[in-house]
Structure 1
């Protein structure tokens, strides 16, 4: 009975903003890690480089304009097609666009604190979720799918080319990590799974078991 109530709530419209808030919190926390440590951002390499260029030069126009545009487009697209692209809306828009706008405005402290970044992401995600549900309610009958029913990452072709790059990077780090990345990538390819994921797992496992510098 308890599980059925939980499942019913998770499938209700009221749960959508909360779930989106949790996702956004993790992504903004990843951006915090990138700003403070240089790694951890949840995004494509070229998008992260836009933010890095802003951190290096103080000019966040490219990151803010590109990523914020993605956010607006995906928020409007979601209720129309019934599918919210988490890559464009949360990873790019919330993870890069909003932080870039904040940094350009001189607002740094929420992004330099891990706890504050989690709270910031949660608030942004909940607000976006409420906006999307409001658009859904106000949409005229017969337009689009009348609701955002699915959250997913639409993905793109760039991820297909990360596997070999990860293997090469792992080899440069250490020989065991490189061997693990190669084996993991081969296993993933055999089972028709993402090669990048297998390479990362393989490098992490063998690199931790045999910590030998390359």
Structure 2
């Protein structure tokens, strides 16, 4: 058993979850005595970061979809044992930019290789370690892709370059996951002013964990 708090941030490409997480960090730190660490997937630890580079490299167009799913599960396992579990055992708060739901949405739904199949290999990787709260940033796929093109000046990784239909399947899978697990996965409207998005997420976290944060 761990003593810390594990929160994941999820959403389609262009939803703004990474920006929101970075903005939220000092706000949350001001309201708790616990240490907060932020991390990301794919990556988050040295070996996992090397796997990240392999997965997202735009040159690896020949990568098989199942190979991709297995690589995501592999980096997740390494990330978990290197970074997440030690932090939770030390009574810290972990904010992770993506976790298991991303694989189910992107590889299971987006790649259409099966949500149950992707969940199975990730169950093996994480050994029942799941976030207590998952903040899902929802945004129409068209809007998210437009944001990426505008903000990154055409610089996109291998998954971001996929067609609109791929990203729509990803979003629909996320929404299905939320419907299946509404207690853990909470929806935030990411298609609104970024300041309001941050305020909504902050209120959600403070309400969910009153024992750790003061209002």
- TM-score (structure 1 length as normaliser): 0.28
Flag the structure with more relative contact order, 1 or 2, with Cα contacts below 8 A and sequence separation at least 6: 2
Structure with higher strand content: 2
Structure with higher helix content: 1
Q: Which structure has the larger Rg?
A: 1
